[in-house]
Amino acid sequence: MIVSPIDYRYGREEVKRIFCEEQRIHYLLMIEAAASQAEAEFNLIPKEAFESISNAVKSGKVKVERIKEIEKETKHDMMALIRALGEVSGSGSSYVHFGLTSNDIIDTATALQLKDFYSVLVDDLLELQDSLVNLVEKYSDAIMIGRTHGQHASPITFGLKMSVYLSEVNRHIERVKESRKRVIAGKIMGPVGTGASLGDAALEIQDRVMEILGIFPETASSQIVNRDRYVEYSGILAGIATSLEKFGTEVRNLQRPEIGEVSEYFNRETQVGSSAMPSKVNPINSENVCSLARLVRSFAVPEMEGAVTWHERDLTNSALERFTIPYMSILTDYILRKMADIFETLVVNTDKMRENVLKDDYVMSENVVTVLTRNGYERLKAHELVRKSSMDGYSSGMSLRESLIKNGILDILSPSEFEDAMNPENFTGKASEICRITVTASRRIRTEAYNW
């Protein structure tokens, strides 16, 4: 019986495979083999024992079914795996899991999962970055209304809006890259972190195991890898999810019929928007991103709670982490890919953007104040003139242009100066230059993304 929507609705198979039971068991066995190799290299166990253990792992003879069968007796998942491995390790069976504790293997397996997922995560972010670069470059000069507090504000360009999002994604790429050395860490130092059973070479053995596996060693551990690492990881994913919800919310708002400036791609030949209202064209993908982003963020809290353990550790982190790390990772990948697709196929209505700017000349109030001040009119008086004209215009139904003329602005500015001040094309500032700067930064970050 399948219960979780992860299993039948959300997530990509290649990512779910990283966190599935079979692959995790594969990681656990890899670590047992790597530990026996390092121990043999430092003469802690016979070389023949390592070879027997390694051959058993490579043979695929350790079966999930057998592990579960043993676990029914032992009530201990790692002990079940250790016994199952011992059964097929021949002469090496006496040295399986020598000097180790369960979480040496469990936490190091999590590090291997995260190592594999980090490459996926960077790919996802680069795909999103690429979709935004295309929008920034294409619409760097596409004028539209800026909005603050949900109200019309001074004009911007759609490229600038996308540059804001692009710069945010760029910082996420840098965070992911920079955090890798702290997040992807394993340990092989036994039940209280001293490495006592590994002898004088304990630290060297741990370093060698992590070298074999291609991950970083924990500096100082208790029975477990320090959970501040997982807290940082969950915080990074929560931050990415927050950005994605922000982007999705903007698409949803701009697709509202009274705005109509962008919309998600909708297959008009076959797609159904509503079972009741056949006319509906809903931003369902952005809504899906927003919904799952909230779930991703919610998992960051139990991960923080799980970082608080008694003494050298207890089990209060164990059960929750079977959900937090896999679910956050799988769903973050899923919504990153979905958001990239939304932007890649986004329908941008530049004519509607321009129409919305031109039909509300109140968006030029800031520029009128600026032009008045530059022409020698005291700024506070200029602000009051435009403010009073705006309030008069709202009350009487006049445009800002009409109200300003009624209130004597042509006694201060010439007609041509006034018309220039009311032209939104003249008041997008450095929007286009900011677009170019952001794209240039994105290309640099892209070339450095995998330098870790």
Q: Which positions are catalytic?
A: 149, 274
Contact in structure between 135 and 165 (CB atoms under 8 Å) = no
Q: Please state, as a whole number, how many other Cβ atoms lie within 10 Å of the Cβ of residue 340.
A: 21
Q: Which residues sit opposite 156 in a β-bridge?
A: 144
In single-letter form, the type of residue at position 85 comes to: L
Backbone angles phi, psi at 216, to 5 degrees: -95, 145
Which DSSP symbol is given to 76? -
The greatest distance separating any two alpha carbons of the chain, rounded to the nearest whole angstrom, comes to 101
Provide the b/e sequence for 169-207 (b: ≥16 CB within 10 Å).
bbebbebbbebbeebbbbbbbbbebebeebeebbeebbe
Q: Which residues sit opposite 153 in a β-bridge?
A: 146
Cα separation, 421 vs 373, in Å, equals 12
Provide the b/e sequence for 405-424 (b: ≥16 CB within 10 Å).
beeebeebbeeebbeebbeb
Q: Which two tokens stand for residue 427?
A: 């008041």
In single-letter form, the type of residue at position 65 comes to: E
Question: 134: exposed, middle or buried (C-beta count within 10 Å: 0-12, 13-18, 19+)?
Answer: middle
In single-letter form, the type of residue at position 215 comes to: I
Question: 239: exposed, middle or buried (C-beta count within 10 Å: 0-12, 13-18, 19+)?
Answer: middle
Q: Which two tokens stand for residue 450?
A: 């995998």
Radius of gyration of the chain (CA): 30
